[in-house]
Structures are given as structure tokens and as C-alpha cells.
Structure 1
Amino acid sequence: MPPALHTLGILLFLLTGKVENVSFQQSSSQLVKEGTVKLKINCSHDDNSLTVMLWYQHKQSSQSMSLIGFEYAGSPKYEGQFEDQFEITREDTVRGALIIRRANLSDSAVYFCAASTHSQSEAYFGNGTKLTVLDPNIPITPPTVKILQPSLKECKDKKDKKNKKTLVCVASGFYPDHVSVFWQIEGENVTDGVATDNATLRDGKLYSITGRLRVPARTWHTPGRKFNCTVSFFNGTHTTYHSGLVYGTDLGQGEGMTREKYLQITQTAKLSYGVFIAKSSLYGVFVLVLVWKLQASSGKQSN
């Protein structure tokens, strides 16, 4: 790697989060067949002072991005390993494109467009374009969606005394991995308390992803309340939707017999039994006294 490009790559990677002053537009996610030629990913931004346009590749298996190359003053420059596979073009200062000459499976990645004024200045990044080159040996398969109900061991927050319940949505067995997860309660979209895995997980040929919804206990413990997890799945031509559904339950319904509950029940039973024995003993004493008085009264009358 040429020293100048290496230094530039490190500098821009460290500045990836600084995007607040520039608005970027990149091509939407793409699914293509292996062997597709002249695949183009477009990029544009709204700052004419940014004269350098750069392109990065980020693979899911990697923790860092790789600089493909950059274009400045009509002259594109490439990192060596990318020069034969990619072409960087520029219409003007704010518009450009990355062209993949022939799509291979190894090209599946997220491609980021970036811009700066020169090699030592602040860099701004777009949101990225996800590209999947379809493996011809794996059929397109939609996800199976299932919602796991709150754990029986989920405890109260001792700090604010609020009881929370967590529902877990598992989407599994799908290919490719162009999915997103969202939640609904009674048909209304919810975002509070929602979290989704940052990336899909691959198990063999297929993928899975997990999402979570955390709600107040009183929200979950409403019998018949509907909780939906929906996964949107892009199959290359259109988006399909796949949902899981569970209903809220009564407080305590299906919570099972925990050790604490068992101890509580047994202690209550012991206390109740003790009270019963005490009452029985007092009743027995009362009966004996009553019988004694009756016998004494009967003896006096016979005299």
C-alpha cells in the first residue's frame, strides 16, 4: 500500500462519525446475481467545497473498513488489491459512482461514499449501500418468525421499583440477509424499548436475527393485548413481510412454580395449619369445660 493512501485511509477511518454538516445520498440496497457486469453504486452530497470523493468497503466479517480508492481533480487513485475489480467515476464535485466490473460472491459488503476537501481534512461519510451477490447454490428463503414470551425470572428494577417485561423476536432460516425488524402493540408501531441486533448471524447457509421489545409489566399483563413482531424481507425483486404474534396474559398466568413462590406457599400453609391447631385446641378446652359444668349441674340437681 502506498504510504500516502495508507495515511489517508487511517485518517478518514478515524473521522467516520462526523457527518452532521453534509447530506449524502447513496444507492439503495442491491441484490444481484453472480457475474453481473458494470454494477453501479451512486453517490451525491451537497457540499461543493469537498473536492475529494472516496469509497470504502466494509465486510461483515471484518471490524474495519478498507479504502478502495479516491478521486480528485479527475484522477482516480486505487488501493492495489482493488484496481482490477472497481472503477471510480465522477460527474462533478458532488456526484460520483463506484462501478464493480463483474460481481463476485466476495464483493458482498457495505460500500461507503466519503468526501473531504483534501487528504489532511475532516471527512464526511454517507450511510452506505449494502450489496449482496447471490450465491447460486442457495435458494432465496424467507424468514420464520417467532416471539418468545417474557422470562419467568425477569425481576423488578429495585432502583425505581418498575417491573419490566422483555419479549424476544427471533427471525431465522432466511437468505439473503436483507431484513429489518419492527414491533407493533395493538396494531400501532412502537419504538420505545425496542432493540435489534446490529447484524445478522450466519449459521451454515442461512441467517438469523433477534429483536427485543421491553415494556412495563402492566402493558404485558393485559389479557388479549396483541404484540406483533414483523420482519421485512427483500428478495431481490420486492419486499415481503413475515410476522409473529403473542397475546398479553393475566398477572401471574403461566408463571410456573418458582422456589420463592413454593416457600411462600409452604410458609402460609404452616401458619394456617398452626392457627387451625390452636383454634382446635381452644375449642376442645371449651367443650371439656362445658361438659364439666353440665355434669356438675346435673349432680347438684340429683342431690
Structure 2
Amino acid sequence: MDIIIITFILKRCFLSLFVLLMWNPGCTGGSDVNQKSVLWVKQGDDATMDCSHTKGSSYYQMYWLRQLPGENMERVVFTTTGSTEHDFGRFSPQKFAATKTAAETGTFTVKKAQPADQGLYFCAVSAHVNNYDPAYFGSGTKLTVLETGREITPPKVKILHSLKSERARRNGQKKKTLVCLASGFYPDHVSVSWNCSAGKCDEIATDSAALLVGEHYRITSRLSVRAEIWENPQNEFTCVVRFFDGKIYQDFPEKIQGVEGNSTINTRENYLRITQTAKLSYCVFIVKSCAYAAFVGFVMWKLQSSQRKR
């Protein structure tokens, strides 16, 4: 009896370890597992996602996992070929459904989708010949649920910048920070990129996800460029916001030119000019001081001469 219990526990431990390894996206071979990257449905409609792979018929097991915004990835259902009994774990088959009639394909459905169901849904496949077989993940399907009565709205894009250059913390080098703001769009299918006419853009930092503000989304991206590049009117900086409207991708570019100004890094010519100006100012000061001293001396001499005559 003890041997049976120990054997059961060991099997459960191996299965748990396998599932844990499967949930690690680092184990994926995304080019072998294919999913649609974006899926849009109206609120209350079913959202069905397809998955296929080229790993062969030995990879007959399929897992569906989801990652909601700000949450960790979790397994929703486990399916195998030819079985109608799918393992939903803590999730309800009243909310989710899955099919698996062939080794290389499968489907997953979110029933009566709601805005709270929006997130990334991943398909993973495994042969599970032994407990060390890797799992292969797809790149994920981003599910968007269009709320009732909402219209698709493209973004408004503008570039903001300060009047002065900031001193960067690293290397003491002065830089200019440009902020690209895309706002007023719905839903949140956007990506942001920069183009710099002077060559490769320096440092780019973009928000990890669009933020819902009121009824619309907004996202920002920051570009840092060296001050001497910014202070050249011939240089151009373009922020490109790409928006998916459910049918096609549209680009919304916004451009800004560099502004003429004094270079923030002292060149040799600047240094020589500054030192020459300083020398000239010092000489003028010395001459004025000498003239003032001579005048005072002359006044004192006159006073002394006047007193002797009396």
C-alpha cells in the first residue's frame, strides 16, 4: 500500500514539474507553433482562437494559457487528441471551451467575451514522451473585446520637448529629451517607433503598455539625443505611431526639427574665444585701475602743494 502511495506522489510531482517548465516562455520554439497575433470580437460574442504546429503527430498534447494585464501567466485548459474530457483546472467549462481532434491543430474559445477577458492567450504543445520533453509556445494571441457602443478611434500624436537641454547623469554629457505622446485612441493596438535623420536614434524608452485614461488610451515614448545633434536645424526627428483598426495597420507620424543653438560641448575654438575675451577684460581692468590710481595720486599731490604755500 505504501509503495502505491509513494508511486502516485512521485507521478504527481513529475507532472507538476513538467507543467511548471511548460509555463516558462523560455522553453518555446515559437516559429513551430502558429497563432493569430490579434483577435477582435464584440462584447458578448464568443472569441475562438486557432492553433497549429509543425512539430509532428507525436506532439498531440496542447495547453492554453492566458496572461491578463498586470498578472502572471496561468494555465486555463489542457487537451489531448481524441479526448473530449479536457482539464480546465480551477476554470469553468461554462466560460471556456476547447477542441482537439488532430495532433497538429486545436482551438480555444472564450465564451461571451467581456472587457475583463482582454489579454494575451498562448498555445503550447508537447509530446510528453518523458518528463524532460520541452514545451513549444506560440507567440500569443492578443484578445481585444470591443465594448458595446464604442467606436474605433485613431490616435492623436504630438511631440513635446523642454526649452533647455538636460545634463545626463552618465558621462556628464548634455542631452535633449523628446517625448512622443499618442492619446485619444481606442482600442489599445498601437506600437511606437522613432526615425532620426542624423542616423541611429540614441536612447528610446516606450511605455510597456497603453494606459486607459477615461474612455480612451494613451501611450508615451521618450527619445534622448545628444545636444549637439538637437541643435542642428537640418536634423529631423520623427515619431511613428502604428495603429491597428481591426482591418489594416495605419501609421500616424509626427515630425520635429532640431533648433539652432550654441553647442553645449566646448570646442577648441570656443575655448580660445572665451580665454581671449577674459584676457582683454582683465587688461581693460588693469588700465582703468592704473588711471584711477594716477588720478588719486595727482589730487593728493595738489592738496599737499596747496598746504605748503599757506
Q: TM-score range by the shorter chain?
A: 0.7 to 0.9
Q: Which runs of 5+ in 1 are unaligned?
A: 256-264, 291-303
**1:197-255 per-position Cα deviation (integer Å, ceiling 9, x unaligned):** 221112232211121223333332221322111111122233332222211122348x9
> Which one of the candidate residues 89, 102, 123 is aligned to 1:92?
102
- Asked if residue 208 in structure 1 is aligned to residue 218 in structure 2, the reply is yes
Shift of 1:136: 1.6
| Alignment of structure 1 residues 41-190 onto 2, 5 Å | 41-48=49-56, 49-62=58-71, 64-75=72-83, 76-118=86-128, 120=131, 121-149=133-161, 152=164, 154-156=166-168, 159=171, 163-186=174-197
Q: CA RMSD in A?
A: 3.6
**Does the Cα contact within 8 Å between 2:21 and 2:27 map onto a contact in 1?**
no
Residues 233, 208 of structure 1: alpha-carbon distance in 2 compared, 3 angstrom cutoff: same
Question: In structure 2, how many angstroms separate the alpha carbons of the residues matched to 1:27 and 1:187?
Answer: 37
CA distance in 2, matches of 1:91, 1:219: 60
Identity rate, percent = 34
Shift of 1:74: 2.2
Distance 1:73 1:17, change over 3 A: same
Q: Give the C-alpha shift of residue 130 in structure 1.
A: 0.5
Alpha-carbon distance change, 58 to 244 in structure 1, aligned in 2, over 3 angstroms: same
> Within 2, Cα distance between the matches of 1:155 and 1:57?
43
In structure 1, how many angstroms separate the alpha carbons of the residues matched to 2:113 and 2:296? 100
Q: Is the 8 A contact 1:22 1:47 kept in 2?
A: no
Choose the corresponding residue for 1:238, options 244, 248, 253. 248
Q: Would you say the 8 A contact 1:112–1:129 is kept in 2?
A: yes
- Counterpart amino acid of residue 42 in structure 1: D
Aligned AA for 2:196? I
Distance 1:104 1:173 in 2: 22
DSSP 3-state at the match of 2:116: helix
Matches of 1:252 and 1:191, distance apart in 2: 21
SS of match in other structure, 2:26 = coil
Query: What SS does the aligned partner of 1:102 have?
Result: coil
Total equivalences in the alignment: 271
Structure 2: distance between partners of 1:138 and 1:61: 24
Secondary structure of the residue aligned to 2:289 is: helix
Equivalent AA in structure 2 for residue 106 of structure 1: A
In the alignment, structure 1 residue 223 sits paired with structure 2 residue 239: no
The residue type paired with residue 52 of structure 1 is Q
Equivalent residue of 2:91, what SS? helix
Aligned to 1:258: none
Taking structure 1 as the reference length, what is the TM-score of the superposition?
A: 0.74
- Partners of 2:145 and 2:77 in 1: CA distance: 21
Cα displacement (A) at 1:151: 7.4
Structure 1 residue 137, shift from structure 2 partner:
4.2
Q: Deviation of residue 61 (structure 1)?
A: 3.6
- How far 1:193 sits from its partner (Å)? 3.1
Tell me the secondary structure at the aligned position of residue 172 of structure 1.
strand
- 2:7 match: none
Offset of residue 194 of structure 1:
3.0
Whole-angstrom distance in 1 between the partners of 2:78 and 2:120: 17
SS of alignment partner, residue 70 of structure 1:
strand
Match of 2:40 among 28, 31, 35: 31
Describe the SS at the equivalent of 1:152.
Answer: coil
| Counterparts of 1:54 and 1:17, CA distance in 2 | 16
Q: Deviations over 1:64-109 (max 9, x none)?
A: 0121101123223223424112222235322222123332333211
Kindly tell me: are residues 222 and 127 of structure 1, through their superposed partners in 2, closer, same or farther at Cα, counting changes over 3 Å? same
